[in-house]
Amino acid sequence: MNKLLFSLYILSFITVPFLGHSQELVPVTLNTRVSNSPLIVEGQVTSKRSFWDDNHSNIYTASKVKVFKVFKGTVNTEFIEIITPGGTVGLQKEVVHPSLELNKDEVGIFMLHENLISTKKNPNIPLYKPYASVQGFVKYDLLKNKASSAFDQFNNIEQLLYSSITAITRESITEVSPFSSFSWRSP
């Protein structure tokens, strides 16, 4: 019996690290994310709400985003919702890893594609989900004029990040609402 327990103990140290590898992020290049995202917008998270799916089996979070600029695709409204897996409804919480978790007031660029999860609210707001999960959001640090995602760093939002995206899309940027990263920095 002791040999069996010892063998199981040793086996657990050998197999557990391999199980964890299935949840690691695989880097997706900016070129791939931009090329495969039908919609790319700059915006700010204005609110969040979590909800159960129609089968009451999974919790999702809808983040309402005010759109400032469109880098690729078309948006006919000032606001969109980005649906991500996981969230809290009442006393029940679902955590999904890896998954993009957005916070109110975060600003950045969202690389998106169509969402098929029904939210039953805000029928006039288009629904999207991030392309490549957490890599579908490039978060701004407005005070430092920097932006970053899971595997990328940009030391100048408008000169480096904007130009990197427009070099791939070969489209001009469409302004939806006035916003400039310069206006957030102290003089």
Does residue 15 belong to any structural domain of this protein?
Answer: no
Q: What is the pLDDT of residue 182?
A: 62
Measuring CA to CA, which residue among 154, 148, 115 is closest to residue 134?
Answer: 148
Count CB-CB contacts under 10 A for residue 4: 8
Does residue 12 belong to any structural domain of this protein?
Answer: no
Span 69-84, average pLDDT: 96
Does residue 187 belong to any structural domain of this protein?
Answer: no
Give φ, ψ of 26 to 5 degrees: -100, 125
Is residue 103 helix, strand or coil? coil
| Helix (H) or strand (E) segment spanning residue 106 | none
Q: Which of 32-41, 63-72, 119-128, 133-142 has the lowest mean pLDDT?
A: 119-128
Q: How confident is the model at residue 25 (pLDDT cuts 50, 70, 90)?
A: confident
Does residue 61 belong to any structural domain of this protein?
Answer: yes
> Does the pTM of the predicted model rise above 0.75?
yes
Does residue 158 belong to any structural domain of this protein?
Answer: yes
| pLDDT per position as a tens digit, 78-97 | 999 999 999 999 999 999 99
Domains of the chain: total? 1
- CATH number for the domain harbouring residue 136: 2.40.50.120
Q: What is the pLDDT of residue 122?
A: 67
Tokens standing for residue 22: 């299935």
Tokens standing for residue 125: 């707001």
- Look-up: residue for tokens 């701004």? 140
Q: What is the pLDDT of residue 42?
A: 98
Does residue 11 belong to any structural domain of this protein?
Answer: no
Is residue 184 pLDDT above 60, yes or no?
no
Does residue 165 belong to any structural domain of this protein?
Answer: yes
CB 25 within 8 A of CB 135: yes
Q: Which of 61-65, 118-122, 175-179 has the lowest mean pLDDT?
A: 118-122
